Chains A and B, each alone.
Chain A
Amino acid sequence: QQPVQSPQAVILREGEDAVINCSSSKALYSVHWYRQKHGEAPVFLMILLKGGEQKGHEKISASFNEKKQQSSLYLTASQLSYSGTYFCGTEKGGYQKVTFGTGTKLQVIP
């Protein structure tokens, strides 16, 4: 079952902040975040493990709430280069077998 991402799409002006949420109905082992620019391959951002871990990549950070089976991606002071579709992926059984959400399309405008 695919994790649910929200919102489906968001438009930001440069410098604004955004939060993308990822929820699963099943117990999770870890949560992966990827970004895909139009016409390109998905690119890894970070992996979060159980325990409420928070990680960062550039000005992008994320948290994982194990009890709620939810992860959130935080984009602060957005830049034009942040535009793309963000996918969360949940892993519950090993072998790095990830089930991806349907994505959140983020557009940053000047």
Chain B
Amino acid sequence: NAGVTQTPKFRVLKTGQSMTLLCAQDMNHEYMYWYRQDPGMGLRLIHYSVGEGTTAKGEVPDGYNVSRLKKQNFLLGLESAAPSQTSVYFCASSRDRPNQPQHFGDGTRLSIL
């Protein structure tokens, strides 16, 4: 039982390049989330999904797109990477009932030069 798995774990990009971060969960959770974590800023929600085929914007959605084509997968895309997107990205999932904890993946460390 892997829980929440993120790939890749590390990546270095050049400004303007694009990439997709993959999040997969095997807990049959309805809700999934993408966060970024920067020093002194805590965790900030980028986008989230409340079910297959649905997505919604979080606090800091600009420059990112997401897709949830399958219930177990939540993809985060950067179309044209910028140095300001250098961060650690965490994916999380939770059940669709009130007051449930979020289960986090191990994170993806992304550097944009």
> Chain A residues in contact with chain B, CB under 8 A?
2, 30, 32, 34, 40-44, 47, 49, 87, 89, 94-103
Contact = CB atoms under 8 A, between A and B. Distances in A.
B101 A49 contact: no
Interface stretch (B13-21, B44-52, B71-79): B44-52
> What size tier do the contact residues of chain B reach?
20 to 34
Interface of B: 31, 33, 35, 40-45, 48, 50, 58-59, 90, 94, 98-107
Contacts of B35: 100
Contacts of B59: 99
Contacts of A98: 45, 102
Contacts of B98: 94
A102 B106 contact: no
